[in-house]
Amino acid sequence: MLLRTDDVDRPTDNLKRFLEITKDVPVVVAAQPFDIFDDLENITQEMKDNDNWYVPTETLIKSYTNVTVCQHGWDHKNHAPEGEKKNSYPESRDVNECIAEIMEGKKSLEKHFGDQFYPVFIPPWNRFGHNKQILSEIGFVGMEDDEGTLDMQVNKEWIDETYFWRKIETDNTIHSLMFHHDWMNDENFQFLENLVNSGVISWKSIRESS
Ligand SMILES: [Zn+2]
């Protein structure tokens, strides 16, 4: 089973908490290249003077060797026409524009994370309106969308626990659990901690899965 958390940009307390709880198992962070690195430039003297020295997302993630970084689009902007489901890369958006944006993000993640980056594409909202072939042409070995992915926060509400366990036990198409650390509350973190510590689920690295 893959353990994945989405929308990684700022080094929020929730991100720190998520990484700390899951530090002994393989984790995928779906990172937004557009705004994950600019915090380094925005460190103010006030932050430096503060006792809690501000740790940029990049530094934070690098301190967890169990983490694999994958690309979550670019800036998580919606480009879908009105009335359509949210999508950064809808069919109607110029394909060359999509490719250019994705390539720039990929280059940036590779440069900053080196081998900690793995080229599986995770599109925002789990939607990609173009032929997947274009992703392999620019070096991706796979794509993770919502197929076989269990959303732990359906419409931002925590998944029903009874449903969760029944699904895990009976649905063998589920290969990935998708979290959104920034939406999680104390109770949700407790669930994650119990889940990781229970040893019930065998977690796989995305490098073995894709
Ligand atoms: Zn997202």
- Rounded distance, CA 209 to CA 195, Å? 21
Cα-to-centroid distance, 125 and ligand 1 (Å)? 5
Q: Return the percentage of the chain with pLDDT > 90, whole number.
A: 85
pLDDT band at 43 (very low <50, low <70, confident <90, very high): low
Residue 75 confidence (pLDDT): 94
Would you say residue 55 has pLDDT above 90? no
Give this prediction's pTM: 0.92
Q: Which residues sit with Cβ closer than 5 angstroms to ligand 1, an ion? A: 6-7, 124
pLDDT classification of 37: cutoffs 50, 70, 90: confident
Report the pLDDT value the prediction gives residue 98, as an integer from 0 to 100: 98
First and final C-alpha spacing in the chain: 12
Ligand 1 centroid – CA 109 distance (Å): 16
Rounded Cα gap, residues 73 and 102, in angstroms: 6
Which distant-in-sequence residues (6+ apart) come within 8 Å of 41 by Cβ? none
Tens digit of each residue's pLDDT (9 = 90 or more) over 103-142: 999 999 999 999 999 999 999 999 999 999 999 999 999 9
pLDDT of amino acid 9: 92
Neighbours of 108 (CB within 10 A): 18
CA 123/CA 93 separation, integer angstroms: 14
Domains plus CATH for the chain? 2-209 (3.20.20.370)
Q: What integer best gives the mean pLDDT of the chain?
A: 93
Residues in the chain: 210
Helix (H) or strand (E) holding 209: helix 206-209
> By mean pLDDT, which of 40-54, 56-70, 104-118 is the weakest?
40-54
CB 126 within 8 A of CB 148: no
3-state helix, strand, coil in the chain (%, to 5): 45, 15, 40
Q: How far is the centre of ligand 1, averaged over its atoms, from the C-alpha of 178 (Å)?
A: 10
Q: Calculate how far, in angstroms, residue 181's C-alpha sits from the geometric centre of ligand 1.
A: 11
List of E strands, 43-179: 67-71, 117-121, 142-143, 149-151, 176-179
Instruction: Give the distance from CA 90 to its chain's centroid.
Output: 20
Rounded to whole angstroms, the Cα distance separating 74 from 137 reads 18
Burial class (CB in 10 A: 0-12, 13-18, 19+), 53: exposed
Q: What is the mean pLDDT of residues 88-99?
A: 98
Residue 42: pLDDT band by 50, 70, 90 thresholds?
Answer: low
Query: Could you tell me which residues are beta bridge partners of residue 65?
Result: none
**Distance from residue 207's CA to the centre of ligand 1 (Å):** 21
Give 132-159 pLDDT, tens digit per residue: 999 999 999 999 999 999 999 998 999 9
Confidence bin at 39 (pLDDT 50/70/90)? low
**Distance, CA 121 to ligand 1 centroid (Å)?**
12
Residue-level pLDDT at 186: 98
**51 has a pLDDT exceeding 60:** no
* Helix axis angle, 13-21 to 186-198, nearest 10°: 20
